[in-house]
Amino acid sequence: MELYGLKNCDTCRKALKALPRATFVDVRGDGVPPEVLRDARARFGDKLINTRSTTWRGLSEDDRAGDPLELLAVHPALMKRPLIVDGDRMYLGWDKTVQAELLDTA
């Protein structure tokens, strides 16, 4: 199980603490493999981009209108966090639904 996030993100820290078998991948330092981003984009669509982030607010309208995968490659902090990959299953965020599913199987 891989948990993609930011090391300074409180939500990512909470998820990592609750999922001790998860391997943490810092999206700023290590990046997200392109195939994982493609799969996540196919599964979550526009929800993959955190449009409430300060990074998003700092982008021009032209940048925002660009290809989301290219945008995430350049600005990995735009990804909603955490992105949890467990085999062929993916989860986005750390809400009660994700927690219930992952903690029941952990």
Two tokens, residue 42: 């196919």
Q: By CB neighbour count within 10 A (0-12 exposed, 13-18 middle, 19+ buried), where does 17 fall?
A: exposed
Catalytic residue list contains 9: yes
Which position among 1, 2, 9, 90 bears the catalytic label?
Answer: 9
Q: What CA–CA distance (Å, rounded) separates 39 from 96? A: 23
- Residues known to be catalytic: 9
